[in-house]
Chains A and B, each alone.
Chain A
Amino acid sequence: MILRVYLWKEWQVFRPTLIALSLLAVLVCPAILLMPGDWVPGDFVGKVTVCAMLAISVTIGAELLPYERTGKRMEFLGRLPAGEGMAFGAKLLFLLLSLLGFTVFCYLLAQVSALFIKPGFVSPVDDVHLVIVGAGIIACLWAFAISSWISRATLVLPILAVFLVFGIQPLLGGGVFKIWKGIGLWYLLFYLFIITGGAILLAWTSYLHRLGKSKGLKTKNVMWAGVCMITPLGLAGWQLENRLTPQPYSSDFKIRAAYAGPDHRHAFLSTKTGTAPYRSVIVDLETGTWRVEGKPDQSFSPPGLYDGYDFLAGQIGEHEFLEMFDPGGGIACYDGKTGEVFDFGTRGELRPRLEDRLRESKRRTSPIRMPDGQRAWIMNRSLETLDEDGEIEHLGWSIFATGRAGRIAGHGIRVFEPRQSLMIDLLRKRVYPLKEKWLNHPQLVMEEGWLVNKSRQWFLYEPDTQQVSEVTALKPGVRVVHLLDDGQLLIHLEGQISLLDLSSGESEPIQSPSGSNGTPIWQVYSRGQGSAPILTPKGDVILHIIFWDRRIDESYLGGIAVFDLQSNSFGALIEGDYRVISFPSDNTLLAVADQKRIERINLDTGEREVLFPRN
């Protein structure tokens, strides 16, 4: 009852202000929307919400306490039985109620006005709007707090602006709002609690000081309150900083993706430590120094991967550029050579040179191979290759114009579509819709047709005549690992890798890599981009092999091995969980080891060197 009376008192004082602001909003919102579309600010609803909260901050937040200082109102309120606490609490509650009430009113008004006048400006409820409301509450409470010790309400706005820009914004800008998704809602709420709690404490202290009752607060109590406020803030800041900094030596540190620059000097990593957000790291592989780039949960990606048109872009290769997308829509482009953000310069001047560099790097490392052994790559939303004269030939299939997903299938590219998958047959230079369901099973585009697996049986499908024939040379259950350029197949069956000539049906068993002690092979696969096998600069194939021999510690015996196409034999097994990222020379490779380290491996000697993190 008493609280209601105090709220009524505040309402009596600020009713004219609220009515005036509401009328102003009712007039201004439609008026802005009636202007030409270009003049209406983007995120109209969000901006109206910001203005509404600012208006309340300035007209009510900054006036609630100062107006009591006229006459002897503070004394009048202070001597009533309900006391200072009730008067202060009612003011705070009234401020929050009027802030939220007026903000919701303006928000709905903006949405409804937009719906009737310019429907394009209607905004769905967005996280950004929630953040605006959070920021508005903070601003309003600090306006309230500042007004408690500034005698002139008109000074509150400039002081609040300075305070927000230099005091709160760096904390929030760097620490909370831009990354709140990454650090979790509870952290955000904790920060809001600390920041708003600070404002309320300051206002309460000033309020009591005005009443002449701050003696007790000036010493011990304020000190303890400060300690209580600052200690968790400091701890939270330390924890947040710790959480957002990659911990390469931590047991739960993982390298989720890695890209090497064209000179193999820099590696661009997406790392994750425990449950912390993803962090992007650039490592100087020569010195081992590293630095964090971008905001939490931002990752590097090769050009074209993010928007899907170069859906075969992968980690392996020499990356001239790497992109980092901002959730706000911006793109930062990093120079693969220097590790620095690339300055695009003036449009039309630097772009062509960038494209040349990008095309060249793709030509060198693309996983797509034309039947003649030439590489093909996706550039500017079309498939390109080099013709016989060394000129760029555009294989202009429109399917590259929009984002897709796909994988390499021998001399073809299988493209996944929501309703019907497609097969780009590079031999027949046609795009075939995969109408029949069974064609969606693993397949390989070959000279003789498409090799398709159905119910463990292998068939040859001729896409033009649609004839199907059983392939007897491939026993049921056999797994095709790779199609070599000479048409032979590298296959895996019953713990053994063999080389099969499909036309003759002859197969040649391949001896397992040395170091495996004749243990049967359990799985063979490739971690190449688009599921294509990894090819060394010499053209040899790198395969990941896992053996049946389960170790005591539950890990498997496995690693990578190079299959030499000249001698048709494997080199030594390089034991470990490796993800190859690039080849600095014919006989060395860079790889992510155990998802934790970047190692340089000499393929001839098997020698390994840890480049990141260094001891």
Chain B
Amino acid sequence: MKSSVLTCSNLHKHFGKHSVLQGIDFELAPGEITVLLGANGTGKSTLFKLALGLLLPDQGTIEVLGLDPIKQSKNLRQQIGFVPSIPDAYDWMTVKDLFHMLAPQYPTWKKSEADRLCEELKVPIDRRFKQMSRGEGMKAMLVAALAPDPKILLLDEPFGGLDPMAREEVLARIIDEARVGERTLLCSTHDMEVASRIADRVAVLADGKIELQGLVSEILQKEAAQPADLQAVLAGGER
């Protein structure tokens, strides 16, 4: 078996008295597309922040591409593409400005790739973020995440708030890009349909723990057998 790209072991994180992650054990195999399912507030974004070295774990360990996200953050971040749930670049920036800022930070940044993706996704490169629609902004962020040719792509609920057309565009591009080489992809969502369309594996996060994980087919079978259970998990309610 290939060594995992992301490994969480007994991972804990709390904010004040609120415990968000309560001992997560989780692995990502290289080249796989994993969808992290969970209701809002279950800790999906927290897990991404821990993977990016933006937060310190309270207990347990997390390793990405064999690197410590805190101690080897620079090296690690140069190999990760991240798409946030909302476009969080500065309002005054154009896409060109964003690329101007990002390019020197990634040794593997490919301007030609960025230009190609912008053209294909119809990203307005001279428009400021504050003048863009949510969909255009998300596509720009996706291009920015893919331009350095990352080994692992993290997507934190990238489809929320997108109109159906933009959603389809983004989804299609993600599916295409995920199939490039050995790229590993972890995408969080609470949308089962997205999971069914892109995922190799699915992990369900609830109450700060991984409740279910396995091949997408297994999870979907389980949903078919006990649909109320999984829907409840995804809705964040009682099972």
Chain A residues within CB distance 8 Å of chain B: 1-2, 5-6, 8-9, 12-13, 71-73, 75-76, 78-83, 211-213, 215-216
Question: Could you list 12 further interchain pairs (A-B, Cβ under 8 angstroms) beyond the known A2-B105, A212-B56?
Answer: A1-B104, A5-B101, A12-B97, A13-B92, A75-B54, A79-B53, A80-B102, A81-B73, A81-B106, A83-B77, A212-B49, A213-B55
Q: Is A5 a contact partner of B100 (Cβ separation < 8 A)? A: yes
Q: Given A12-B92, A12-B97, A79 and B54 touching (CB < 8 A)?
A: yes
Q: Given A12-B97, A79-B54, A72 and B104 touching (CB < 8 A)?
A: no
> Residue of A at shortest CB range from B75?
A81
Q: Is A73 a contact partner of B90 (Cβ separation < 8 A)? A: yes
B49, B88, B93, B105: the one contacting A81 at CB < 8 Å is: B105
A215 — which chain B residues lie within 8 A by C-beta? 56, 58
Q: Is A72 a contact partner of B100 (Cβ separation < 8 A)? A: no
Give the docked Cα–Cα distance between A13 and B74 (Å).
25
Say how far B172's CB is from chain A's closest CB, in angstroms: 25
Residue of A1, A8, A82 with most partner-chain B CB within 10 A: A82
A75 — which chain B residues lie within 8 A by C-beta? 49, 54, 84, 88
B97 — which chain A residues lie within 8 A by C-beta? 12
Chain B residues within CB distance 8 Å of chain A: 15, 49, 52-56, 58, 73-74, 77-78, 82, 84, 86, 88-93, 97, 100-102, 104-106
Say how far B96's CB is from chain A's closest CB, in angstroms: 12
Say how far B77's CB is from chain A's closest CB, in angstroms: 4
B56 — which chain A residues lie within 8 A by C-beta? 212-213, 215-216
Q: Is A72 a contact partner of B102 (Cβ separation < 8 A)? A: no
Q: Is A213 a contact partner of B54 (Cβ separation < 8 A)? A: yes
Give the docked Cα–Cα distance between A1 and B100 (Å).
11
Q: Is B55 a contact partner of A80 (Cβ separation < 8 A)? A: no
- A-B pairs, top 7 by smallest CB distance, nearest first, are A72-B88, A81-B77, A81-B105, A76-B88, A81-B78, A1-B104, A79-B52
Q: Is the interface of A mostly helix, strand, loop or mixed?
A: helix
> Residue of A at shortest CB range from B46?
A212
Give the docked Cα–Cα distance between A337 and B86 (Å).
80
Interchain Cβ contacts under 8 Å between A and B, 22 examples: A1-B104, A2-B105, A5-B100, A8-B101, A13-B90, A13-B92, A71-B88, A72-B86, A73-B88, A75-B54, A76-B89, A78-B54, A81-B77, A81-B78, A81-B105, A82-B74, A82-B105, A211-B54, A211-B55, A212-B55, A213-B54, A215-B58
A78 — which chain B residues lie within 8 A by C-beta? 52, 54
> Residue of A at shortest CB range from B79?
A81
Residue of B49, B78, B92 with most partner-chain A CB within 10 A: B49
B55 — which chain A residues lie within 8 A by C-beta? 211-213
> Residue of A at shortest CB range from B78?
A81
Q: Is B77 a contact partner of A80 (Cβ separation < 8 A)? A: yes
Q: Given A1-B104, A12-B97, A212-B55, A79 and B77 touching (CB < 8 A)?
A: yes
Say how far A238's CB is from chain B's closest CB, in angstroms: 38
Q: Is A72 a contact partner of B74 (Cβ separation < 8 A)? A: no
B53 — which chain A residues lie within 8 A by C-beta? 79
B15 — which chain A residues lie within 8 A by C-beta? 212
Q: Is B54 a contact partner of A83 (Cβ separation < 8 A)? A: no
Say how far B220's CB is from chain A's closest CB, in angstroms: 32
Residue of B54, B84, B91 with most partner-chain A CB within 10 A: B54
> Residue of B at shortest CB range from A1?
B104
Say how far A318's CB is from chain B's closest CB, in angstroms: 75
A79 — which chain B residues lie within 8 A by C-beta? 52-54, 77, 82
Give the docked Cα–Cα distance between A378 and B90 (Å).
76
What number of A-B contacts does a CB cutoff of 8 Å give?
A: 66
A8, A80, A211: the one contacting B105 at CB < 8 Å is: A80
Q: Is B101 a contact partner of A9 (Cβ separation < 8 A)? A: yes
B54, B84, B92, B104: the one contacting A212 at CB < 8 Å is: B54
Give the docked Cα–Cα distance between A73 and B93 (Å).
12
B52, B104, B106: the one contacting A5 at CB < 8 Å is: B104
Give the docked Cα–Cα distance between A313 and B57 (Å).
77
B73 — which chain A residues lie within 8 A by C-beta? 81, 83
> Residue of A at shortest CB range from B50?
A212
B49 — which chain A residues lie within 8 A by C-beta? 75, 212
Say how far B107's CB is from chain A's closest CB, in angstroms: 9
Give the docked Cα–Cα distance between A6 and B92 (Å).
15
B102 — which chain A residues lie within 8 A by C-beta? 80
B101 — which chain A residues lie within 8 A by C-beta? 5-6, 8-9
B91 — which chain A residues lie within 8 A by C-beta? 71
A82 — which chain B residues lie within 8 A by C-beta? 74, 105
Give the docked Cα–Cα distance between A80 and B84 (Å).
13
A13 — which chain B residues lie within 8 A by C-beta? 90, 92
Say how far B63's CB is from chain A's closest CB, in angstroms: 17
Residue of A71, A80, A83, A216 with most partner-chain B CB within 10 A: A80
Say how far B22's CB is from chain A's closest CB, in angstroms: 17
B100 — which chain A residues lie within 8 A by C-beta? 5, 8
A76 — which chain B residues lie within 8 A by C-beta? 84, 88-90
B104 — which chain A residues lie within 8 A by C-beta? 1-2, 5
Q: Is B74 a contact partner of A81 (Cβ separation < 8 A)? A: yes
> Residue of A at shortest CB range from B73?
A83
Say how far B19's CB is from chain A's closest CB, in angstroms: 15
A211 — which chain B residues lie within 8 A by C-beta? 54-55
> Residue of B at shortest CB range from A72?
B88
Give the docked Cα–Cα distance between A9 and B89 (Å).
12
> Residue of A at shortest CB range from B93?
A12
Q: Given A9-B101, A12-B97, A212-B55, A83 and B92 touching (CB < 8 A)?
A: no
Give the docked Cα–Cα distance between A108 and B55 (Å).
47
Give the docked Cα–Cα distance between A78 and B52 (Å).
9
Say how far A70's CB is from chain B's closest CB, in angstroms: 9
> Residue of A at shortest CB range from B129?
A71
Say how far B14's CB is from chain A's closest CB, in angstroms: 11
Give the docked Cα–Cα distance between A144 and B77 (Å).
28
Give the docked Cα–Cα distance between A6 and B106 (Å).
14
Say how far B83's CB is from chain A's closest CB, in angstroms: 11
> Residue of A at shortest CB range from B45?
A75
Give the docked Cα–Cα distance between A71 and B93 (Å).
14
A83 — which chain B residues lie within 8 A by C-beta? 73-74, 77
Give the docked Cα–Cα distance between A212 and B45 (Å).
13
A81 — which chain B residues lie within 8 A by C-beta? 73-74, 77-78, 105-106
Say how far B92's CB is from chain A's closest CB, in angstroms: 6
Say how far B68's CB is from chain A's closest CB, in angstroms: 14
Say how far A229's CB is from chain B's closest CB, in angstroms: 24
Say how far A489's CB is from chain B's closest CB, in angstroms: 91
Give the docked Cα–Cα distance between A256 and B16 (Å).
65
Say how far A519's CB is from chain B's closest CB, in angstroms: 83
